[in-house]
Amino acid sequence: MNAIQPSRPPLQPTQKPRVVPRPKRHLRQRSYQMMALEGTAKIAVNLVITAVAASALIKLLPEQSLQQEKLREISTEVKLMEGRVNTLRAEFSRNFDPHQAKSIRQEQGYRFDPNQRQIVLINQDGQEVESIESSP
């Protein structure tokens, strides 16, 4: 167990290969060139994007003005139609009002209540001026 082991030769320092230092100036100059190239590329890309956005805006502005004009025309037509609808709605409600049925029949049929007499106003010239219905 405790056998004698052969002795090892003493360790000699191994020679490391000599590292040749690079000139640091060259590395710095290259990194500055890469940064300048990167910055120039970013600026170029941003200019291209800006040009595309500007051309898109130039194309969209006339379309937007046409759409605004169409919107104004449609708004005007809507207001006119709302007025017409309100008039027709009022006429509809009047036509189907049972309290107004008698007066509507007289207007539409030119028939008068037998209790009413027609009064005709005549000028001295003999021309009819106005016809009025009155109750006796």
pLDDT tens for 32-60 read 889 999 999 999 999 999 999 999 999 99
Q: What is the value of pTM for the model shown?
A: 0.43
pLDDT of residue 42: 97
Q: What is the pLDDT of residues 71-89, one digit of tens each?
A: 999 999 999 999 999 999 9
Domain ranges of the chain: 25-96
Residue 25's pLDDT is 63
Alpha carbon 74 to its chain's center: 15
The more confident residue out of 24 and 135 is 24
Q: Please provide the average confidence, as pLDDT, over all residues in the chain.
A: 80
Residue 95 confidence class, pLDDT cut points 50, 70, 90: confident
Tell me the C-alpha distance between 30 and 49, whole Å. Answer: 29
Query: Which residue, 94, 133, 97, 136, is CA-closest to 112?
Result: 133
